[in-house]
Chain A
Amino acid sequence: MGGFVSIISRGFHGRRRDEGDRLPPGQYLVEDFPVLSAGPTPRVPPERWEFAIDTEAGVTHRWTWPEFLALPQETPTVDIHCVTEWSKLDTSWEGVSLDTLLENVDTAADYALVHSYGGYTTNLPLEDLLDGKAWIVHRFGGEELQPQHGGPARLLVPHLYFWKSAKWVRGIRLLDDDRPGFWETAGYHNYGDPWREQRYEGD
């Protein structure tokens, strides 16, 4: 019994130390999942949903909902960091890696402009979507992703501030030139690295 308690105690302190290391500057931890929105929540029935990647050469790759679900699924557990200063640790998702979606896409583009149902956009370098760093996810915490959190599917790019993880994702345009998105044209940082605290333009 004493051994059990000491394991819990050690585990607790160990976890707290880890949490400190995992919290970028200026962030605080939350247990709930705040909802921030720039517009009405789109309701996209699966039969009308599609995801498309448009290349800089004008070639479009499309997936219907059943085609998307038939792709190899991954279950990333990641920490997420919102520019409004909350962070949430060990969030668990299920979806398709952008490596899988881009596997057969012929492109030499350097930039990506992500666009969503409802009109939201966000931009990032294409390399930030590759090498196991980004997913299109459709399940959160073992359940279907709810519309207020971006369901049926959202982008998940946990190494950047969470506004880059576009809710209600509809497609990605691959571009030779960077094209700033919704918040990036309204004062927020173009790249948004939480570890360098790139919140606003000029940070």
Chain B
Amino acid sequence: MTAEHLDGNTLAGPLGELFAVDVTTATGRCANCGLTGPIGSLHVYGPDPGLVGRCPGCEEVVLRLVRGPGRAWLDMRGTVTLRVDLPD
């Protein structure tokens, strides 16, 4: 059976509308099971009605992104931290 979910890197474009950095390369920690890894490794469902990024370890929701006309809603309650590598 083929995977039902999309590749986590499909988040790059939609999240790129909101963030100045590429969040798919940032390291997230799952609020449910504590697994850490790049946001681009999430199991992504959607894109409609919204993008749902789930932890590849426990399948809990890590983030949700809904894009409506003229606005977007981002829910990151499933992420404890995001580590973003930046220049010194």
- A positions within 8 Å CB-CB of B: 36-41, 83-84, 119, 163, 183, 185-188, 199-201
Contact = CB atoms under 8 A, between A and B. Distances in A.
B4 A183 contact: no
B38 interface: no
B4 A41 contact: yes
B82 interface: no
Interface residues of B, number: 21
B50 A39 contact: no
Interface secondary structure of A, over-half rule: loop
Contact of A39 (B48, B59, B69, B75): B59
B5 A163 contact: no
Interface in B56-70: 59-61, 64, 66, 68-69
B75 A84 contact: no
A200 B68 contact: yes
B30 interface: no
B28 to A, nearest CB: 18
A128 B69 CA distance: 28
B59 A183 contact: no
18 contacts: A38-B49, A39-B45, A39-B59, A40-B5, A40-B43, A40-B54, A40-B59, A83-B49, A84-B48, A84-B49, A183-B66, A185-B75, A187-B50, A187-B66, A188-B50, A200-B68, A200-B69, A200-B71
A6 to B, nearest CB: 42
A170 B43 CA distance: 24
A22 to B, nearest CB: 22
B46 A38 contact: yes
Nearest to A86: B48
Nearest to A36: B48
Contact of A187 (B5, B52, B54, B68): B68
A197 to B, nearest CB: 11
Contact of A186 (B43, B54, B64): B64
A199 B59 contact: no
